[in-house]
Amino acid sequence: MFTNILNQVFLMFVLVGIGFILNKIQFLHKETGSDLTNILLYVISPALILKSMQQDRSSYSLKIIALVVIALVILYFIAILLSNASFSHLHSLDMKRSAIMGTVYSNIGFVGIPIASALFGDRGVFYSAIGIMVYNTFVWTHGMTLFDNGDGSSKEKLLKMFKNPNTIAIGVGLVLFFSGVRLPTPLNQGLGYLAGANTPLSMFLIGNSLANIAMDRKVVKPWMIVTVFYRNLLMPVIGVLIFALLGIKGIDYFANVILFACPIGSLVTLFIIQAKGNPEFSIIEIGLSIVTCIISIPVIYLIAQLVMQQLF
């Protein structure tokens, strides 16, 4: 499994590198990247989620699913407390928002789903969907409080969350999963074709974004390094312990560990742009987080293995 992790992370960076090169040779422009991002987020990702939930319910334990949700809720509360304690002193509102959001919210959709799909198949994507459900609950409640100007926009954005194709796909997928209803074969195959585009396209787009970042030691602040440390190492290690202590084992354990070890999510930048703030800080910390995850994800997996051997 460790070899598979290394291979998948290496493959991820090869695809990211291709996206980087496509940007530099002017094959992938900002406008193109924006259009492809919308296709990925609102067409391909929902298709992948819906397809992943077309599984036999008997192969899953409802107890384990509940324990995963409980573990994620605990982890989000820990991350919120940790980030508030560590970054409340930052004088810039955009810095504070970037640091707190970066600590709490990983890129479970853009990075997590492709890795989980490649390593654990539909089972990995199923847990990605569960993770996204908990993630959305927190990001549109706690996350929005960081950007709430008291103008009623939070309510509108919360409503927008429920209209999001990914949220709809999770809801429909859960109904189909628990009812045991199967989609017609042609429709399921069509979802499979769309789902197959998720990994390469998402990695190309990450590479395209990285190509637009001017990484310079002068613009990398100490708090950014702390944020990346929290997101890439500290919180995943805490996650390793909590998932294990709650009795989650095997593929269910490793899939959730890897998903929680994903780098900082891009949503922080989108929220800051919507709030008419300066997204530069968040873009730099996201770049650092993505680059360093080539080391941190395999390290987290090794720690997870050691913990599993000691406890079970």
Map tokens 């970066």 to a residue.
102
Tell how many helices (H) and how many strands (E) occur in the chain.
16, 0
What integer pLDDT is reported at residue 312 of this predicted model?
A: 66
**Whether the Cβ atoms of residue 297 and residue 260 lie closer than 8 Å to each other:** no
- Residues facing residue 264 across a β-bridge: 106
Q: Enumerate the H helices of 182-279 as residue ranges.
A: 185-196, 198-210, 222-229, 235-245, 250-260, 267-274
What integer pLDDT is reported at residue 16 of this predicted model?
A: 84
C-alpha dist (Å) from residue 238 to 232, 233, 242, 307: 11, 9, 6, 11
User: What is the chain's length?
Assistant: 312
Which tokens belong to 136? 């959305």
Which domains occur in the chain, in start order? 1-311 (1.20.1530.20)
- Could you list the pLDDT tens digit for every one of the 312 residues in the chain? 677 777 877 887 888 889 999 999 999 887 788 788 888 888 998 898 888 788 777 777 788 899 999 999 999 999 999 999 999 999 899 999 999 999 999 988 778 888 888 888 888 888 888 888 888 788 877 887 887 665 555 567 667 767 888 888 888 988 998 888 899 999 999 998 998 888 788 788 878 877 877 666 667 899 999 999 999 999 999 999 999 999 999 889 999 999 999 999 877 877 787 677 887 888 889 889 988 988 999 999 999 999 998 876
User: Which residue type occupies 98?
Assistant: S
CA distance linking residue 53 with residue 49, whole number of Å: 7
